[in-house]
Amino acid sequence: MSQAKAGGNAAFVEFSHVQKSYDGVSLVVKDLNLSIGKGEFLTMLGPSGSGKTTCLMMLAGFETATHGEIRLGGREINNIPPHKRGIGMVFQNYALFPHMTVGENLSFPLEVRGMDKAERETKVKRALDMVQMGNFINRRPAQLSGGQQQRIALARALVFDPELVLMDEPLGALDKQLREHMQFEIKGLHDRLGITVVYVTHDQGEALTMSDRVAVFNDGVIQQLDSPDELYERPKNSFVAQFIGENNKLPGTVEELDGHKCLVRLANGELIDATPVNVREKGQQTLVSIRPERVEFKPEMMPKGAHTIRAEVKDVIYMGDILRARLKVAGSDNFVMKMRNTISQTKLAPGETISIGWHPQDARALDPV
């Protein structure tokens, strides 16, 4: 990760003022500027239609940029056809050639590069061993399970030693358990091989687990580009706050603004502490966002002088590792609080009234939606 961050000044992949339109009427990608360092694992995260896949396809060479420049290793690649870019790619449904065996699939990129047979065999074997699929060389893709196909697709994208590998929602078709397992495996391969990975997903959990940095896309614009912890704990706007993880939103008006702290008055007149992010002056409308696990209801856990507000417990859901309480706060009853499921944890009953509060830095006053 340190390498990745250092790579910021010597960009390996660079989008510069890239725009893309399919119909000449609307822009799918609006003025994209993004540099990806060598060896970095960057995830493009966003809802469908946000432009993330389009960006990936432009990088792979399957779509042309309407405007702007895309550079790979300092070289402009706008007009280089996909087969000359030397980028490995893992597709959403693997796209393993059904009429070829696993071995032939892996051998394909080496054959088209004119590599001789002995060298091909060595490389194919090495790539298969890398994903623990050495025994499957003579199988057809149809004879493999989803997870196995995924590994082969990965091996095929890596077999010709590309420096950059693109992954387009590669784990979307797998079940939850296998998906989590493959996340670690892909991450492990990335660390071991030192390759640069650009990963597209709409699954925020996946993005947070695997990436060095995450670019959150919405409406053709990168909303925030940060490391997973920054993104989760310090979202820069309401979209990011809502898209990543669960979030409580409290609309209100800025009452006091003082550098790194502000007071927000909620609709029912109660006051809460928050950190100003997207607010500039008193009297402005804002949306305060607080993570459910950062909400406290025990006075001793709250900082001195913090404002507390009243909340009524609607129900408590037992989720195993945590307890999820739904509270009625400031007139709205979908305020969520998560509590660790420890032996000494206080059991809340529906209908109970409690006081809740938080560290001011955990409540972020963002732009109103």
Residue 248 identity: N
Nearer to other proteins, 108 or 232 (CB): 108
Interface with other proteins (CB under 8 A), residue from 21, 66, 92, 227 = 92
Residue 58 identity: M
Dihedral angle over CA of 237, 239, 244, 245, nearest 10: 90
Name the minimum Å distance from CB 77 to other proteins.
Answer: 13
Name the minimum Å distance from CB 207 to other proteins.
Answer: 22
- The answer to whether the CB of 136 falls within 8 A of the CB of 128 is yes
Choose the stretch contacting other proteins; rule: CB under 8 A; options: 29-37, 72-80, 85-93, 266-274: 85-93
Name the minimum Å distance from CB 113 to other proteins.
Answer: 6
User: One symbol per residue from 113 to 142: x for binding other proteins (CB under 8 A), - otherwise; what is it?
Assistant: x-----------------------------
Choose the stretch contacting other proteins; rule: CB under 8 A; options: 25-33, 75-83, 208-216, 239-247: 75-83
Residue 277 identity: V
* 369 interacts with other proteins by CB under 8 A: no
User: One symbol per residue from 42 to 71: x for binding other proteins (CB under 8 A), - otherwise; what is it?
Assistant: ------------------xxx---------
Which string of DSSP letters, residue by residue, matches 282-323?
Answer: TT-EEEEEE-GGG-B-SGGGSPTT---EEEEEEEEEE-SSEE
H-helix or E-strand containing 53? helix 52-60
Distance in Å from the first CA to the final CA of the chain: 34
Residue 80: both structure tokens together: 């280089």
* 22 interacts with other proteins by CB under 8 A: no
User: One symbol per residue from 155 to 194: x for binding other proteins (CB under 8 A), - otherwise; what is it?
Assistant: -xx--x-----x----------------------------
CA dist., res. 254 & res. 285, Å (int) = 6
Nearer to other proteins, 102 or 366 (CB): 102
CA dist., res. 284 & res. 278, Å (int) = 10
Sign for the CA dihedral angle at 90, 96, 102, 106 comes to: negative
Name the minimum Å distance from CB 167 to other proteins.
Answer: 12
DSSP summary character for residue 215:
E
Footprint of other proteins (CB under 8 A): 60-62, 81-89, 91-93, 95-99, 108-109, 112-113, 156-157, 160, 166
